[in-house]
């Protein structure tokens, strides 16, 4: 059996999400574990963050298909850490805090792709030093509200276990369109 490195997603309490622009005070020897959320406008990138924390009061998403996020924003996921181990051994490395980078959608007419890239480069320099590596994971937000939080965490856990040490891949959201609602009348 192979001795591959693996990641573990650990929650240490109630998961909360808060915007954070300064990471200089974070005590993490291996840096912050950054996950970049990219996808088309209205695909659910911000909704993913709110569902993970089960907190609609963040006000970072809208139930619409036009762009709502206008700036690249870093979100600290409180009480969630990433652990690392080699093979089947013990969890050997210190925990790394989790950060999501929420981005405006592709083809958003309110902001150019160059502006988004400028914002990304400003946010990731000098910390965290690495942003993405490896192959992206795609998921659909076509989930019932009851199962969204569960599956978002499962998707994140499976993503962590596929990556090279301290180099996460982007998660790519795909849009969910409600094309037909069943009639309630007989």
| Each residue's pLDDT expressed in tens, for the chain with a length of 186 residues | 456 767 777 888 888 888 887 777 777 766 777 787 877 777 778 888 888 776 666 666 665 555 567 777 888 888 888 887 767 777 666 677 888 888 877 667 777 777 777 777 666 655 444 333 334 444 444 444 555 556 556 656 655 555 444 444 444 444 443 333 344 444
Is the residue at 137 inside a domain? no
Is the residue at 1 inside a domain? no
Q: In the prediction, which pLDDT does 172 show?
A: 47
Number of domains into which the chain is organized: 1
Is the residue at 173 inside a domain? yes
Is the residue at 184 inside a domain? no
Domain region containing 173: 6-125+142-178
Q: In the prediction, which pLDDT does 32 show?
A: 78
The pTM assigned to this predicted structure is 0.61
Is the residue at 81 inside a domain? yes
Q: What is the DSSP string of the chain?
A: ----EEEEEEEEEEEEEEE-S--TT---TT--EEEEEE-BTTSSHHHHHHHHHT-GGG----SSSS----S-EEEEEEEEEEEEEETTS-B-SPPEEEEEEE-PPBT-TTS-HHHHHHHHHHHHSSSSS----S--EEEE----HHHHHHHHHHHHHHHHHTSBTTBPPPEEEE---------S--
Q: In the prediction, which pLDDT does 186 show?
A: 45
Is the residue at 78 inside a domain? yes
């Amino acid at each position: 059996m192979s001795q591959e490195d693996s990641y573990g997603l650990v929650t240490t309490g109630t998961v909360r999400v808060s915007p954070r622009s300064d990471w200089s005070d974070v005590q993490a020897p291996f840096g912050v574990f950054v996950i970049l959320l990219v996808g088309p406008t209205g695909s659910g990138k911000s909704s993913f963050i709110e569902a993970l924390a089960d907190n609609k009061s963040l006000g970072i998403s809208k139930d619409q298909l036009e762009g709502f996020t206008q700036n690249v924003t870093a979100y600290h996921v409180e009480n969630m850490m990433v652990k690392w181990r080699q093979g089947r051994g013990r969890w050997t490395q210190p925990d790394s805090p989790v950060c999501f980078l929420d981005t405006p959608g592709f083809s958003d007419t309110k902001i150019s792709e160059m502006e988004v890239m400028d914002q990304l480069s400003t946010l990731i320099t000098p910390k965290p030093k690495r942003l993405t590596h490896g192959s992206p994971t795609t998921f659909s937000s076509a989930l019932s509200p009851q199962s969204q939080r569960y599956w978002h965490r499962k998707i994140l856990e499976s993503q962590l276990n596929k990556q090279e040490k301290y180099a996460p891949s982007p998660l790519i959201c795909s849009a969910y369109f409600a094309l037909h609602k069943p009639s309630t009348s007989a």
